[in-house]
Structure 1
Amino acid sequence: MSTTTSVLPGFGEPPQADVIQRRVLGSRVFILNRPEVYNALNLSMIRNMTPQLQVWNESDLCKVIILKSTGNTFFCSGGDVKHVINQEPSEAAKFFEEEYQLNHLIATLHKPFVSFLNGITMGGGVGLSVHAPFRVATEETIFAMPEAKIGFFPDVGGSFFLPRMDGEVGTYLALTGARLSGLDVFFSGIATHYVPSYRLPLLEVRLSELESDDHEIINAAIEEFVAECDEKHIYSLGGEIRKSIDRCFNKDTVEEIIDALEKENTDWSKKTIETISLMSPTSLKVTLMELRRGKKMVITDCFKMEYGLAQKFLEKSDFKTGVKAVLIDKIKEKPKWDPSTLKDITLQDIENYYFSDSNSKLELLKNISYENYPFSRFNLPSEEEIRKVVTGETPDAGSMSMTQQEVVDFFMKDRKGKIGVREKVLEVLNRKTIVKKGQEDLTWIEDTD
């Protein structure tokens, strides 16, 4: 489908669509096109994309679907919440209903879907990309889920993907709104590939020329354009910081997490406590409960849970308070949350209200679900995959006793020499294994507080 429009004499250029659609050989392309609001996602954009995505997914002529944005500063800054908070709750709920339907549709497409995360990617932009089998980060990529900062919760499938990240990284990102950039987006598993931004036009041409919609062929084409990992790069959520994250954020209450951070008594932990202290207490407690539940749920149930939560947040004041304070007035101090402290709201309060039945149930567009992402093989290996090889729980790995080099070699072969595998596996092994005296094989270290 083309968005080209004829221009009537004397009437100037026609208005551009908020999402431009293009057909180039075998590729079908969405271009997010609201640069004046940092490509914030609104209902018009969702309704532009959803029906066309359904058509392309069934088209024999379509081999790959690409999602990108105008410019290279913002991919999508999030949902257009400034507009949402001014609507009636029932009207605002419609935005979240159709947004989650689109997110789930992307998560269950059988056509290859490639997102170019070239620029700031937050909230609603994460929902458009993180569930896709192929997610390309660049040096311009900045990822965050800062919903607790505006009195909301990590939605758009956050209850599914965040608790499935390595260790407690997802919990940390959700409760702090911390940002990841560039290579860190790749090493964390948010992105499947890292491609310099100047290569994206060439990659897009390459993808459009493919005559197959086989995911393995799409993956191989993207790998042709990836960059070698910078030897000087140190993963910001690795090493000692990562050990602290796993020690502190593995608790089931926000209060326990803060206590653990206080015991760390480091510059990092003090700064983290300061960050958390600015968040909505309700958002923090709902978020933690949401992630713990989502880890055990299939993806359809996660979206349905989130739709119920969204309706409850629309009925309370913190969401509107947070958006106005942080995004509109841009105040630096803590917004006037209600309740204002963690002690003023109990877990029972949270469960009874936020996780009780909502007025409206989410009806998804496809009846497809799963417990884990079906295309995770295109990612760098997860920490859990590495653990199972070290402990002998992966039959294909062979011997239970493996050296560090043998583990690296196994994953290099398993991921077909994928760039970044060696660095990711070595970071995990250096942090999570030891070699006992007189031996060469690795022993996995279980986490202890």
Structure 2
Amino acid sequence: MALCLLRKLPQLAARQHPGCLLPAMFCSTSSAGNDPDIVLSRRGCAGVIELNRPKALNALSLPMVRAMHPRLLDWEADPEVAVVLIKPAPGSGKAFCAGGDIRAIADDCVSARSAETGAGSGRAGGSLSRDFFREEYALNHAIGTYKKPYVAFIDGITMGGGVGLSVHGDYRVATERTVFAMPETNIGFFPDVGGGFFLPRLHAQIGVYLALTGHRLSGEDVKKCGIASHFVNSEQLAELEERLCGGEWLTKEGSFGTVSRLSELLQQFEARSSLDMRVPFSLNRHMADIERHFRHDTMPQVVASLSSDPSSWAAAQLETLRKMSPTSLRVTLRQLRLGMHLNLAGVLKMEYRISQRFMTNHDFVEGVRAALVERRQPVWQPASVEEVSDEAVDEYFAPLPPDRELQLDTKRV
């Protein structure tokens, strides 16, 4: 059974922006100074974004964000550009984008704390942790309010920041190689980049389940869950790209075709793929359990509900949740409940506040260090969801000083 599809926010008039200063093809410099991390180019009627950090699984860095955002706005205003395509660069490995560059951000937090206290235990994030999330979320908002068709080939690992680069656009094309997850609670963070907008809008409580447990979806499941809009075999992507750039979906009069004509082209390729909608979504057999246990508004209630269930599936979910940051779990659940009633801009503003509070807590740096540096189980503080007070959770959602709040162009709706 296919679950409900995400819907893109409505679009209105183009916003004013400074002219793009980037050349026709822009390559952001890689940390190694060799191959570019991102390539932006014009191909036929398409603006094409290629992510090219294979050793980092195409993880999103601040220079990549700064290269991409102004070019997107430039293409939006260019009458010769009919569609934008984002994809992994040829030969860039097994990922579309595995997330943001969290190790660099965690290192920035540690450096800032050391400078603050002289002992590495301060409570302030650095400039990177402020700038990265502010500019990444502004990019997510631009994608979610884009006025031309935006197509993402999510071919390979798509997590965290990679989800933000794709899920808010018109079309998300999964392949048999797609692996989707929002695993942030495992590193002492939360499912940001607009996770509070799209996750609670998935069928029933499946988005809450994915956010809290970090459960991975693969291949056809990403379409059947409603995260991808289409499924196309990876071997067909080159031809699909050629036809997207060739503009066969444009009207004969030369003006841009409607969204439905581009949708028809994608549907043609999906019909040629191996997708079998008769095979149920892999979590279908657990949907009633997911709805029953993950419908609660607090983590102690979720844990109590799972604990009352004698099934092996419930026991497995409890074991998974006990590995996650208790603070992350409690903040994430509230984020999703609030996000259900906000538009994308409202969610991103809320998430920016949350992100800055995570930069000052123990669990984020501990989680990144444990997962990526020392390869060990993290030691969370507090150690259980019952120990995380409502007042502590409230602090993550409290307003920032006015000059530090996230500013978005809310005319882009």
Matched residues in 1 for 2:372 and 2:298: separation?
28
Matched residues in 2 for 1:162 and 1:344: separation?
26
Q: Does 1:354 align with 2:391?
A: no
Deviations 1:96-134 (A, max 9, x none): 000000000000001100000000000000000000010
Residue 349 (structure 1) shift = 2.3
Residue 2 (structure 1) shift = 4.0
Matched residues in 2 for 1:188 and 1:232: separation?
14
Structural RMSD (CA): 1.6
Residue 328 (structure 1) shift = 2.0
* Alignment partner of 1:38 out of 54, 57, 69: 57
- Name the residue aligned to 2:234: 197
SS at match of 2:315: helix
- Greater C-alpha radius of gyration: 1
- Name the residue aligned to 2:258: 214
Deviations 1:139-189 (A, max 9, x none): 000000001100001100001001101000010001000000101100111
Conservation of the 8 A alpha-carbon contact between 2:306 and 2:315: yes
SS at match of 1:225: helix
Matched residues in 1 for 2:165 and 2:240: separation?
20
- Name the residue aligned to 2:122: none
2:66 aligned partner, one-letter code: R
Q: Does 1:103 align with 2:122?
A: no
SS at match of 1:121: strand
Conservation of the 8 A alpha-carbon contact between 1:112 and 1:213: no
- Name the residue aligned to 1:279: 324
- Name the residue aligned to 1:394: none
Conservation of the 8 A alpha-carbon contact between 2:88 and 2:95: yes
Higher mean C-alpha displacement, 64-73 vs 175-184: 64-73
- Name the residue aligned to 2:200: 163
Q: Does 1:86 align with 2:107?
A: yes
Map 1:129-140 onto structure 2 (within 5 A). 129-140=166-177
- Name the residue aligned to 2:116: none
Q: Does 1:310 align with 2:352?
A: no
Identity of aligned residues (%): 40
Matched residues in 2 for 1:137 and 1:128: separation?
14
Deviations 1:320-357 (A, max 9, x none): 000010122222x3x11111112221123211x11111
CA distance change for structure 1 residues 4 and 133 in 2, over 3 Å: closer, same or farther?
A: closer
CA distance change for structure 1 residues 72 and 139 in 2, over 3 Å: closer, same or farther?
A: farther
Q: Per chain length, whose mean CA-contact separation is higher, i.e. which structure has more relative contact order (CA < 8 Å, sep 6+)?
A: 2
Higher mean C-alpha displacement, 72-81 vs 159-168: 72-81
Matched residues in 1 for 2:265 and 2:375: separation?
43
Higher mean C-alpha displacement, 222-231 vs 353-362: 222-231
* Alignment partner of 2:339 out of 287, 294, 302: 294
Matched residues in 2 for 1:306 and 1:290: separation?
8
Residue 272 (structure 1) shift = 0.8
- Name the residue aligned to 1:400: none
Q: Does 1:236 align with 2:278?
A: no
CA distance change for structure 1 residues 58 and 366 in 2, over 3 Å: closer, same or farther?
A: farther
Q: Does 1:342 align with 2:390?
A: no
- Name the residue aligned to 2:156: 119
Q: Does 1:3 align with 2:25?
A: yes
Residue 231 (structure 1) shift = 6.3
Q: Which runs of 4+ in 1 moved over 4 A?
A: none
Matched residues in 2 for 1:195 and 1:248: separation?
34
In structure 2, stretches of 5+ residues that fail to align are 1-22, 28-32, 113-124, 251-255
CA distance change for structure 1 residues 180 and 119 in 2, over 3 Å: closer, same or farther?
A: same
Matched residues in 1 for 2:275 and 2:382: separation?
46
SS at match of 1:235: coil
TM-score scaled by length of structure 1: 0.77
User: How many aligned residue pairs are there?
Assistant: 357
* Alignment partner of 1:66 out of 76, 81, 85: 85
Residue 230 (structure 1) shift = 2.6
SS at match of 2:107: coil
2:386 aligned partner, one-letter code: K
Residue 298 (structure 1) shift = 1.4
Matched residues in 2 for 1:270 and 1:330: separation?
25
Matched residues in 2 for 1:168 and 1:52: separation?
36
CA distance change for structure 1 residues 190 and 231 in 2, over 3 Å: closer, same or farther?
A: closer
Matched residues in 1 for 2:396 and 2:367: separation?
18
* Alignment partner of 1:154 out of 178, 186, 191: 191
Q: Does 1:53 align with 2:72?
A: yes
- Name the residue aligned to 2:36: 17
